[in-house]
Amino acid sequence: MPAAHATSHQRSPRRQPKILTPQERDGLLAQFNRRYNAPLRNLCMVQLMLDAGLRTGEVLALRPEHLDMMTCRLVVREGKGAKDRTLWVSRDLRDLIGRWLQRRPESEWLFCTRHGGPVQARYLREMVKRMARRAGIAEWQRVSPHALRHTFASDLHRETGNLRLVQLALGHADLRTTAIHVHLLDGELEQALKSFRQSEQPGQDTPTPQEIAHHLLDALPEPIAQALARAAQVPRQRHLPSPPLPLPANPTNTPRSHTCMRPEREAHEGL
């Protein structure tokens, strides 16, 4: 096969999903008006993906009996690979879903349309992008249900540091797949590797007092830094403690034991 033809079939690097910052996540959740049924339902679905890492199909396949309202236990039935897994949600999210359960139409699906039918995956994807755009999130085009799942994975790994736990929550069979989901922790990896064994490196130079002074001056406002720099050019005078004051003279050469004697003692001894 010619080299040019082979190059044309090379797969371009896959672009990673966007990971939401805490501010972006809060901004996204703030877009839903809970007074109305559809926004309340949509908020529950989005928060389930952010707080439990559910896939699009897993969210849409949930039934009311899959969530235990007493224990906050959520059973994901026949996830990817026809595997079940058990998760838990926070009490706040359970209460939010409870509000939706009080309003939802009669249906076999936990999240249904106003006629009781299942919500479509295309609607969920478009709704997430629409809310991301409304929230003013940078690169909102990259915000998808899968990006919410990646955000959950990265946040859980950052908080626990346990990749195996993240694997169980996501329902991955291969730990390498889980590692891909926490890819945006590369900045933390860079920082960790740069400081790894740093204290054990021989021959490290200790900053000089002049270097420390320059760093301190750089951190100060300019007028204060200039004043300190001018003051540093004046020869530093050491302030010695003042000498003790001389004792007063004793003109009568009276023994000190008599001059310091209390009056009542002197009166008693004169009797």
Residues of the chain with pLDDT under 70: 1-15, 78-82, 172-208, 211, 215, 217, 219, 233-271
**Does any domain span residue 98?**
yes
- With 0.75 as the threshold, say if the pTM is over it: no
What is the predicted pLDDT for the residue at 187? 58
What is the predicted pLDDT for the residue at 84? 83
**Does any domain span residue 81?**
yes
What is the predicted pLDDT for the residue at 93? 94
**Does any domain span residue 31?**
yes
**Does any domain span residue 190?**
no
Number of domains making up the chain: 1
Residue ranges of the alpha helices (H) in the chain?
A: 3-8, 22-29, 37-52, 56-60, 91-103, 121-134, 145-160, 163-170, 175-181, 186-195, 209-219, 222-233, 256-259, 263-269
**Does any domain span residue 259?**
no
**Does any domain span residue 264?**
no
**Does any domain span residue 249?**
no
The residue range of the domain holding 76 is 22-184
CATH number at residue 37: 1.10.443.10
**Does any domain span residue 152?**
yes
